[in-house]
């Protein structure tokens, strides 16, 4: 799939992640439950032969979680307290989904 055809997918996923974060904060719902359950939904349907790739994905998720925490203060300075975290999550989700175009982690 070309970059141009794939581009709407990370944009939509990033927007949905940012929106769910904004709504979860509004209703005082723990945000981590949304993202963990999203990941586990996809893992539940995986075959045992895909376990190494899932481990790489979860490890990458942990790394991107730390990147989100590191980048959040910078985004908060630019977008303010209300939109700083959703903007950070949008960018991080966008990058994660764009990594799907690479074959760096194919086993």
Task: Decide if 104 contacts 94 (C-beta within 8 A).
Answer: no
Instruction: Give residue 32's pLDDT.
Output: 78
In Å, how far from its chain's centre is CA 69?
A: 13
- Average pLDDT, whole number, for the chain? 83
Structure tokens at 91: 């960018």
pTM of the model: 0.64
Structure tokens at 48: 């045992």
Structure tokens at 50: 């895909």
Task: Decide if 12 contacts 93 (C-beta within 8 A).
Answer: no
Query: 93-106, pLDDT tens digit by residue?
Result: 898 888 878 887 67
pLDDT band at residue 47 under the 50/70/90 scheme: low
Query: 57-86, pLDDT tens digit by residue?
Result: 778 888 988 999 999 999 999 999 889 989
The CA distance from 105 to 107, in Å, is 6
């Amino acid at each position: 799939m070309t970059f141009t055809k794939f581009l709407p997918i990370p944009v939509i996923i990033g927007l949905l992640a940012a929106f769910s974060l904004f709504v979860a904060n509004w209703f005082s719902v723990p945000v981590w439950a949304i993202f963990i359950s999203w990941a586990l939904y996809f893992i539940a349907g995986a075959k045992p032969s895909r376990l190494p790739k899932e481990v790489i994905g979860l490890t990458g998720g942990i790394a991107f979680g730390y990147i989100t925490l590191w980048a959040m203060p910078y985004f908060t300075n630019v977008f303010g307290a209300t939109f700083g975290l959703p903007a950070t999550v949008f960018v991080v989700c966008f990058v994660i989904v764009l990594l799907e175009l690479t074959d760096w982690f194919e086993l």
